Amino acid sequence: MFDALETHFPSDSDSERTEIVRAPGRVNLMGDHTDYTEGYVLSAAISLDTWLAFRRRRDGQVRVASMEPAEPAAFLIDDLDPNPIAAGTRHWSGQVESSAGTRRWSEYVEGAAWSLREAALPIRGFDGLVDTAMPLGVDLGSSAALELVSGLALLGAGRIMSPPALAALAQRAEREYMGIDSGIADQFASAAGREDRALLLDCRSLESRYVSLPFGLRVVVCDTGVPRPARSRILDDRRAECARALALLSERMPGLCSLRDLDPASLKRHQAQLPDNVARRAEHVISENARALATALAMERGDLDELARLFAESHVSLRDNFEVGSAELDAMVQIAKGVPGVIAARATGPGLGGCTVNLVLADAVGALTATIGREYDRRTGYRSHVYAVDIVDGAGPLA
């Protein structure tokens, strides 16, 4: 990356030294569509890193390019709009539409600069080059990773900041600058990940703890390869339906602050007063929160049968109650579960295509990869991609 940075932004005799920061991707092991309802998410930082090589500047300018085919960008930190959403840009989850056209990748870099500036933190511009091992469009936390490496470069790679604080600043960039109504789970996992440990996060209090996986299990992510251009609108509908469930239930249950505080018995008691689709959205959130907690315990106990059951229940709930499943996700899970050594498999992420997450005995990873490539592609007509990932440390300077 050093040579490529020099090609994009030639240094002069006064240039500062080149530094590199990294941030990992993330995968949800359990807890999908629970973060924006203040629930629980069990996730892991994974070895699909995003890197930013940079040299700091003294003039407040940021110039950034990408190793991917993408237009470079430049901006002055002090020129960023202090109120970007009110200034006329409308954004949706995972997709952006603005008066200037489609979203630029560099807006995430701008958002990080805006968030740090609004927090009155001492930051400086930089010349930087982004590279990533993360496949685009597969919902593994690419935007969170880009926000985090941008924040680290703006602060200076040697500056110490707690992972929760860094995650909160990155989330603010996404919510208030990009206008994307996201929870904090992606940024938190990428910032606070720990090697060989999953991370159980309470998205309300931001309390977290690390969870060991059973010995010999690998995490394998399988991408369905399904294009999903309309997904963001559907996910906004799901958020709105969760909010409606909370509003209607709050009328009958004064003091109810979040769906994470709702228990199954209370939902059943008031279910007749809810539209069917709204009730099913709430049912998924309640059960998925319980599964996130139960999955953490099952991992610590090494209970493989319980993990298989919980993953299967989550997959069905995402498909039937939250209605973000697809025939391709079903096929991917069905094929995976037929491979000896695959302990558990389910859809993960926003859904409507996207990925599955699998817990696999180490010596079965090759068989799973070969079987998916052979059977899934033939059955669906889409080209799959399989990633046997390591669980890694969170964002920081490249050692």
Q: Could you read off the pLDDT of 103-151 as tens digits, one per residue?
A: 688 999 999 999 999 999 999 999 999 999 988 778 899 999 999 999 9
- Whether 92 has a pLDDT exceeding 50, the answer reads no
Q: Contact 166/148 with Cβ under 8 angstroms?
A: yes
- Residue at 114 is within a domain: yes
Q: Which residues of 43-75 are buried (b: 16+ CB within 10 A; e: fewer)?
A: bbbbbbbbbbbbbbbeeebbbbbbeeeeeebeb
Q: Mean pLDDT across the stretch 361-369?
A: 98
Residue 11: the pLDDT is 82
Looking at the chain, the whole-number percentage of residues with pLDDT higher than 70 is: 93
- Residue at 70 is within a domain: yes
Q: Mean pLDDT across the stretch 303-331?
A: 97
157-183 confidence digits (pLDDT tens)? 677 789 999 999 999 999 999 888 888
- Whether 299 has a pLDDT exceeding 80, the answer reads yes
Q: Contact 58/200 with Cβ under 8 angstroms?
A: no
- Residue at 64 is within a domain: yes
- Residue at 200 is within a domain: no
186 included as an active-site residue: yes
Q: How far is CA 195 from the centre of its chain?
A: 18
Higher pLDDT, residue 337 or 231: 337
Q: Contact 322/2 with Cβ under 8 angstroms?
A: no
- Residue at 220 is within a domain: no
pLDDT band with cut points at 50, 70 and 90 for residue 96:
very low
- Whether 343 has a pLDDT exceeding 90, the answer reads yes
pLDDT band with cut points at 50, 70 and 90 for residue 13:
low
Rg (CA), the chain: 21
Mean residue pLDDT of the chain comes to 91
Q: Mean pLDDT across the stretch 308-319?
A: 98
- Residue at 33 is within a domain: no
| 139, 186, 223, 261: the active-site residue | 186
- Whether 95 has a pLDDT exceeding 50, the answer reads no
- Whether 38 has a pLDDT exceeding 90, the answer reads yes
pTM listed for this prediction: 0.92
49-89 confidence digits (pLDDT tens)? 999 999 999 899 999 999 988 888 999 999 998 888 654 44
- Whether 368 has a pLDDT exceeding 90, the answer reads yes
Residue 99: the pLDDT is 32
The CATH number of whichever domain residue 90 belongs to comes to 3.30.230.10
Residue 14: the pLDDT is 64
Q: H or E stretch including 155?
A: helix 142-155
Residue 91: the pLDDT is 41
- Residue at 241 is within a domain: no
Q: Into how many domains does the chain fold?
A: 1
Domain assignment of residue 183, given as a range: 2-27+48-193
- Residue at 146 is within a domain: yes
pLDDT band with cut points at 50, 70 and 90 for residue 375:
very high
Residue 79 to residues 42, 110, 137, 203: CA-CA distances in angstroms? 38, 10, 30, 33
